[in-house]
């Protein structure tokens, strides 16, 4: 599983609010719950455990978001996440001489911890329900596109006000497709350093083969540290580790940032997804082949391409799994039955029918429009070229154009509240490999030419009479934007130099920007706005029919869930809840200790020191998805027992429907982390820091109101 980078700023998720099953009941262990609406009755019923407000606040404040998920595990800002979450950061500070991704890294002392510039993490310090304020901004009678614009302006104002008043970054989160809006306030840490990470081969043992598989044998962890004012950040909330770990059948709580689920969407959306998935899958596969052929050129190319390879491989495997789930007839039958039950209930009540009855048809209309404009989605919704073109070059040009406007008129990503993120991204010191960029750009241009033809204005703007390969070479040879100092200079004075720059890449972005904006606006007005509107209507209908106990679809923001440690049936046998170090060495030797199944050097060298019986990974039923990578797993005392790093193959369907029969969250056990630190990676001090923190009085989880059903359930985190 791979971290998902969720667009910062207003998280405009068009998920439709509805409970998952027709009866409105949530299945056991299901749910990505918001911290201000915890399912306390359900947890009490399943596990005899009712988390108090203090217990939940502590878990929330210990949860760290580095893009994906993580947790504080000591009062000195020590952060534990997955290796694959930190991999990109580590890669950007690696060089051919110091290949920390391949070789791992352990800081000999705190002053040896490696700064990871351009990276931030944040902590969710408070949540406020602002539904009335957001919806109040929309005058009655506005069409969906205009209503959306009004909401966006109001959201931008609320976020700006938050920053001004509290110094905290504000994010307005649209839940249930817009039936509820919450303001999330974040404390940000902008000085992040690398403390310890294992070899990639140990973290990613089994490679792409074993990704999304279980049983598993991966040491997928990294330790980072948040700094403030040049010193380790002092944090009052962190998770104490439980060095004894968790047992089969026991409850675990998971806290993290699930990126996206589509469980409450309309059937029209599901059908549209199923139709358009093959294009997405084919494109990812093609890009992966391209990167691999680049990497085959030599060792340095292999190093440069590895992060992209891992990312694309991961996306491809996930997409294939999700597509397979979409193709299962049972999924559609189930979704159709759920939708019919709700529509029938609405139709049976004239008042509900008058208010919400048309929503499903509006959603269908949105996707009919999308189908008719499918070619635009394929070719005109992103900056041609590589990821660097899209995320940095186009963004430079847009930054300059947008900051000149009043906040309410800007593109959502360029609202004042989001500018710190934008500026950090634009000034990232991460290396740009021009040779790799050129390969990706030439391919992207060729695709555009093949898809749209030579006369298309976008193609003309990109190629300017050249072949795709010539154009790619022209742009990459000529640009100086790979130099971060050049970008920093351009950004001065609200980027006014950008408008006059003759950098060929900036010139390209200036040419294509108006064309992309046009397409994008058409999609936002004709699909997103309708879908938002329908989503809100259907969510309200669902509240009216079933009540509002269900959790909203994932939005890339902090949630918690729960489940239990357990194996599952597969084919005709059983898959065990745990794996051990014995299994790691078995799997390596079974494949001749080679290729993706080779042991990492530390695993090979220090095998004699390791307790082979020790638990390595485990499986649990907690409801997670991409973005949860790095999520801490807590026991009922709130102690850290492991970190989520993947789902099994069966969990791909979780995007659309949760199942606990065979879908599992795959975790690295705390006991394995301790063995790895002390026996493989010369990082006794990191282990000691966590153990000492666990023994301290501070930072402990407040006792949960265990085994006592509470009528006066805590009401969730409130604004602070």
Which residues make up the interface to its own copies (CB under 8 A)?
A: 206, 209-213, 215, 248, 317, 320-321, 567, 571-574, 576-580, 582-583, 585-587, 589-592, 597, 612-613, 649
What φ, ψ does residue 41 adopt, rounded to 5°? -65, -45
CB 68, min distance to its own copies, A: 22
Smallest separation (angstroms) from its own copies to the CB of 317: 6
Which pair of tokens denotes residue 654? 């979780």
Min dist. Cβ of residue 574 to its own copies (A): 5
What 3-state class would DSSP assign to 657?
A: coil
Q: Taking Cα atoms as reference points, which of 256, 210, 216, 206 lies closest to residue 619?
A: 216
The rounded distance, in Å, linking the Cα atoms of 254 and 257 is 10
User: Toward its own copies, which CB reaches closer, 277 or 591?
Assistant: 591
State which residue, 579 or 678, has the beta carbon closest to its own copies.
579
Min CB(584)–its own copies separation in Å: 8
Q: Give the separation between CA 330 and CA 327, rounded to whole angstroms.
A: 9
Which residue from 37, 34, 61 is spatially nearest to 125, judged by alpha carbons? 61
350: alpha, beta or left? (left if phi > 0; alpha if psi -120 to 50): alpha
Cβ nearer to its own copies, comparing 187 with 216? 216
Q: Identify the bridge partners of residue 115 per DSSP, sorted by sequence position.
A: 193
Closer Cβ to its own copies, 296 or 589, answer by number: 589
| Closest distance to its own copies from the beta carbon of 5 (Å) | 24
CB-CB contact of 39 with 551 (8 Å): yes
Q: Answer yes or no: are the C-beta atoms of 80 and 70 closer than 8 Å.
A: yes
Q: How far is the CB of 207 from its own copies (least distance, A)?
A: 9
Under 8 Å between Cβ of 12 and 412: yes
Beta carbon nearer to its own copies, 294 or 585: 585
**With respect to its own copies, which residue has the nearer C-beta, 350 or 569?**
569
Strand, helix or coil for residue 232: strand
Q: Are 473 and 409 in contact (CB under 8 A)?
A: no
Closer Cβ to its own copies, 388 or 597, answer by number: 597
C-beta closer to its own copies: residue 462 or 616: 616
Of 118 and 321, nearer to its own copies (C-beta) is 321
Query: Which helix (H) or strand (E) covers residue 617, if one does?
Result: strand 615-620
Question: 345, 545 in Cβ contact below 8 A?
Answer: yes
90/87 Cα distance (integer angstroms): 5
Q: Nearer to its own copies by C-beta: 590 or 710?
A: 590
What are the Cα distances from residue 185, in Å, to 33, 165, 173?
17, 11, 10
- 409-412, Cβ contacts within 8 angstroms, sequence gap of 24 or more: 409/153, 410/156, 412/9, 412/10, 412/12, 412/152, 412/155, 412/156
Q: Which residue has the tokens 């391209």?
A: 290
Minimum CB separation of residue 247 from its own copies in Å reads: 9
Maximum separation of any 2 CA atoms in the chain, in Å: 74
Candidates 585, 568, 582, 581; CA nearest to 616 is: 581
Query: Tell me, what DSSP letter sits at residue 662?
Result: S
Nearest approach in angstroms of CB 599 to its own copies is: 12
Residue 301 Cβ, how far from its own copies at the closest point, in Å?
Answer: 26
Q: How far is the CB of 459 from its own copies (least distance, A)?
A: 37
In angstroms, the CA 192 to CA 195 distance is 10
Nearer to its own copies, 22 or 610 (CB): 610
The CB-of-667 to its own copies minimum distance in angstroms stands at 14
């Amino acid at each position: 599983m791979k971290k998902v980078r969720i667009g910062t700023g207003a998280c405009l998720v068009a998920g439709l609010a509805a409970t998952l099953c027709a009866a409105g009941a949530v299945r056991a262990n299901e749910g990505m719950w918001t911290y201000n609406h915890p399912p306390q009755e359900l947890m009490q019923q399943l596990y005899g455990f009712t988390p108090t407000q203090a217990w939940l606040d502590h878990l929330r404040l210990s949860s760290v978001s580095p893009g994906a998920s993580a947790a504080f595990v000591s009062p000195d800002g020590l952060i534990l996440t997955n290796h694959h979450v930190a991999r990109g950061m580590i890669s950007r500070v690696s060089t051919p001489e110091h290949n920390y991704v391949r070789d791992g890294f352990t800081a000999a002392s705190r002053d040896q911890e490696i700064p990871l510039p351009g990276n931030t993490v944040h902590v969710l310090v408070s949540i406020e329900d602002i539904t009335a304020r957001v919806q109040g901004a929309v005058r009655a009678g506005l069409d969906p596109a205009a209503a959306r614009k009004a909401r966006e302006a109001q959201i931008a104002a609320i976020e700006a006000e938050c920053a001004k008043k509290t110094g905290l970054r504000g994010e307005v989160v649209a839940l249930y497709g817009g039936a509820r809006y919450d303001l999330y306030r974040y404390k940000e840490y902008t000085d992040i350093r690398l403390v310890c990470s294992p070899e990639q081969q140990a973290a990613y043992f089994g490679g792409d083969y074993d990704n999304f598989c279980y049983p598993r044998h991966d040491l997928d962890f990294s330790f980072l540290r948040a700094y403030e004012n040049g010193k380790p950040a002092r944090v009052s909330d962190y998770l104490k580790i439980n060095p004894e770990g968790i047992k089969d059948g026991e409850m675990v709580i998971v806290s993290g940032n699930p990126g996206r689920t589509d469980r409450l969407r309309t059937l029209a959306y599901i059908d549209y997804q199923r139709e358009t998935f093959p294009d997405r899958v084919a494109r990812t596969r093609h890009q992966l082949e391209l990167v691999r052929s680049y990497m085959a050129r030599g060792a340095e190319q292999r190093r440069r391409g590895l992060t992209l390879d891992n990312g694309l491989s991961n996306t491809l495997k996930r997409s294939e799994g999700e597509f397979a789930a979409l193709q299962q007839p049972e999924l559609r039958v189930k979704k159709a039955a759920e939708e019919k039950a709700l529509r029938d209930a609405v139709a049976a009540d004239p008042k509900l029918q008058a208010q919400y009855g048309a929503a499903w048809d509006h959603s269908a209309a949105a996707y009919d429009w999308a189908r008719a404009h499918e070619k635009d989605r394929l070719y005109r919704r992103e900056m041609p070229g590589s990821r660097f073109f899209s995320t940095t070059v186009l963004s430079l040009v847009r930054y300059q154009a947008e900051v000149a406007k009043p906040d309410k008129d800007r593109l959502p990503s360029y609202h004042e509240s989001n500018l710190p993120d934008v500026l950090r991204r634009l000034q990232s010191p991460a290396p740009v490999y021009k040779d790799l960029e050129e390969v990706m750009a030439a391919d992207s241009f060729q695709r555009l030419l093949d898809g749209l033809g030579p006369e298309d204005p976008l193609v003309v703007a990109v190629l300017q009479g050249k072949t795709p390969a010539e154009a790619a070479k022209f742009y990459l040879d000529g640009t100086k934007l790979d130099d971060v100092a050049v970008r920093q200079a351009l950004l001065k004075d609200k980027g006014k130099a950008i408008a006059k720059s003759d950098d060929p890449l900036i010139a390209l972005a200036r040419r294509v920007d108006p064309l992309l904006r046009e397409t994008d606006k058409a999609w936002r007005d004709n699909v997103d706005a309708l879908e938002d509107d329908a989503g809100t209507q259907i969510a309200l209908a669902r509240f009216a029919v079933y009540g509002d106990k269900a959790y909203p679809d994932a939005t890339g923001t902090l949630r918690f869930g729960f489940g239990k440690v357990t194996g599952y049936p597969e084919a005709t046998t059983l898959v065990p809840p745990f794996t051990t170090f014995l299994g790691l060495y078995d799997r390596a030797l079974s494949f001749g200790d080679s290729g993706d199944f080779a042991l990492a050097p530390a695993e090979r060298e220090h095998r004699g020191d390791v307790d082979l019986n020790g638990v390595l990974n485990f499986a649990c039923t907690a409801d997670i998805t991409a973005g949860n990578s790095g999520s801490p797993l807590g026991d009922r005392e709130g102690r850290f027992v492991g970190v989520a790093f993947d789902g099994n193959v069966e969990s791909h369907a979780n995007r659309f429907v949760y199942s606990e029969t065979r879908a599992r969250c795959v975790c690295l056990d705390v006991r394995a982390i301790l063995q790895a630190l002390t026996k493989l990676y010369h990082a006794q001090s990191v282990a000691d820091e966590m153990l000492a923190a666990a023994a301290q009085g501070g930072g402990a989880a407040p006792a949960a109101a265990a085994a006592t059903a509470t009528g006066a359930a805590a009401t969730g985190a409130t604004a602070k």
